[in-house]
């Protein structure tokens, strides 16, 4: 039924924007995913409007009736165009509501004039137009702002998950997890019952390495939204991060039974990896990436492939991440490891340095730079990185030992050769 999907979506969205144009305070600017049953109901409703308008024009035979029929039919046609156009990257649907509202409220005003007493037709028509202005005035806060449309989508039970993705995306590209957390916290403050926001919060906390709060939030989300596979995925990810791989696997597998959300496959890969079952973890991570689970699943798959020395495949998985977000420290670091393992000094050094520029606290990149430059004989640079590493990891004997070895190698190189 893949060929039916765009038609189902267009009809469902057309009916939604038509209803939104009638009463903007009552509906979300971006509807939830459509269904075949919903599209059938929506199609019947739109056909009924057109049929009613044509019947009115045929029976009343007045200028007002012709205006009403033409305007209502135009409103339905416009809603279909708007529903087809304002989707995907051009969403939310609310961006096109005014295009539908103009002919729709013209038609409603003309209908009101038909049923009004002859001496009051203009007054009644004006009253209908005034009602429309009041309804749209009550929604003025979000009508002129795409970002506010997304917030209203969350608050009015529209496609909250899509809305949240859009609002968080700029912060994720900037790897600003604190800002992403602020968006989710604001969402939960304004709508505590939001499963989309509750299930997203633990993943952000895991990026902030706050595993205990992530687990607490994930347990709350799973209890509050037991039917939401994303909430169960969050629980599995948090359990795996807290060292409970077996429990995480049980939760993830139970969620897989209920649906095919690729994010669940990603969290199953986390659980399997935590138990040391690398081959199974790779298979699950690959399913997650192929299903569209996103950046985190790709980073996990890349790291697992590096561990298995599948370097070319790892680079193929990781490279698109850095093309989209050139400041993704984790992906840059893993690509540095790929080049390092291939003995490509220049590329490995460049990627490790880029990872450090993106995240100066990434001590693993600093350590690898010290090892890489030392191995290739760039001892002064190696000493610089080793000293920075010691500063960044106070009390770490491995860092001190690495610096000592590099300094000894530098001294050995600079010592004069013995006389013959």
pLDDT tens per residue, range 339-358: 999 999 999 999 999 999 99
Tens of pLDDT, residues 11-39: 999 999 999 999 999 999 999 887 788 88
Tens of pLDDT, residues 40-76: 999 999 999 999 999 887 877 788 889 999 999 999 9
**Dihedral (C-alpha) 5, 296, 190, 221: value to the nearest 10 degrees?**
90
Per-state percent for the chain, helix, strand, coil, to nearest 5: 80, 0, 20
**What mean pLDDT value characterizes the chain?**
92
Asked if 69 and 4 touch (Cβ cutoff 8 Å), the reply is no
Domain spans of the chain, in order of start: 5-145
**Assigned token pair, 293:** 């689970």
Tens of pLDDT, residues 181-231: 999 999 999 999 999 999 999 999 999 999 999 999 999 999 999 989 999
pLDDT at 362: 94
For the chain, what percent of residues have pLDDT higher than 90? 81
The yes-or-no verdict on residue 334 having pLDDT over 70 is: yes
Confidence of residue 418 (pLDDT cuts 50, 70, 90): low
pLDDT at 212: 96
Cα 1 → chain centroid: 26
Asked if 301 and 282 touch (Cβ cutoff 8 Å), the reply is yes
Q: In angstroms, what CA-CA distances link 64 with 119, 127, 162?
A: 14, 16, 42
Residue 343 main-chain phi, psi, to 5 deg: 60, 30
pTM for the full predicted model: 0.84
Asked if 96 and 85 touch (Cβ cutoff 8 Å), the reply is yes
Tens of pLDDT, residues 356-403: 999 999 999 999 999 999 999 999 999 999 999 999 999 999 999 999
């Amino acid at each position: 039924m893949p060929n039916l999907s765009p038609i189902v979506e267009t009809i469902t969205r057309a009916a939604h924007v038509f209803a939104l144009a009638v009463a903007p305070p009552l509906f979300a600017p971006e509807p939830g995913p459509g269904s075949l049953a919903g599209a059938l109901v929506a199609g019947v409703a739109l056909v009924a409007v057109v049929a009613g308008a044509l019947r009115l024009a045929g029976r009343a035979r007045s200028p007002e009736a012709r205006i009403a029929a033409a305007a209502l039919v135009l409103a339905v046609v416009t809603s279909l165009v708007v529903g087809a156009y304002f989707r995907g990257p051009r969403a939310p649907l609310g961006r096109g509501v005014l295009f539908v509202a103009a002919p729709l409220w013209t038609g409603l005003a003309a209908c009101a004039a038909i049923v009004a007493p002859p001496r009051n037709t203009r007054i009644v028509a004006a009253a209908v137009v005034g009602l429309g202005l009041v309804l749209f005035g009550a929604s003025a806060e979000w009508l002129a702002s795409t970002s506010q449309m997304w917030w209203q989508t969350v608050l009015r039970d529209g496609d909250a998950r899509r809305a949240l993705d859009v609002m968080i995306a700029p912060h994720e590209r900037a790897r600003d997890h604190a800002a992403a957390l602020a968006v989710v916290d604001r969402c939960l403050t304004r709508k505590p019952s939001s499963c989309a926001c509750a299930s997203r919060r633990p993943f952000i906390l895991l990026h902030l390495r706050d595993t205990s709060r992530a687990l607490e939030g994930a347990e709350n989300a799973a209890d509050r939204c037991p039917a939401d596979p994303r909430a169960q995925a969050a629980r599995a990810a948090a359990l795996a991060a807290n060292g409970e791989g077996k429990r995480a696997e049980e939760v993830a597998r139970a969620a897989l039974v209920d649906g095919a959300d690729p994010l669940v496959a990603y969290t199953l890969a986390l659980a399997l990896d935590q138990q040391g079952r690398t081959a199974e973890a790779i298979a699950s991570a690959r399913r997650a990436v192929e299903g569209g689970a996103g950046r985190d699943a790709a980073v996990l798959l890349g790291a697992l492939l590096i561990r298995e020395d599948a370097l070319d495949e790892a680079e193929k998985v990781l490279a698109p991440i850095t093309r989209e977000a050139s400041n993704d420290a984790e992906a840059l670091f893993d690509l540095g490891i790929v080049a390092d393992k291939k003995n490509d000094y220049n590329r490995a050094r460049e990627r490790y340095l880029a990872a450090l520029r993106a995240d100066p606290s990434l001590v693993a990149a600093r350590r690898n730079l010290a090892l890489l430059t030392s191995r290739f004989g760039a001892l002064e640079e190696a000493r610089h990185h080793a000293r920075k590493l010691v500063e960044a990891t106070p009390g770490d004997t491995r860092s001190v030992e690495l610096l000592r070895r590099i300094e000894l190698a530098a001294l050995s190189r600079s010592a004069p050769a013995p006389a013959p």
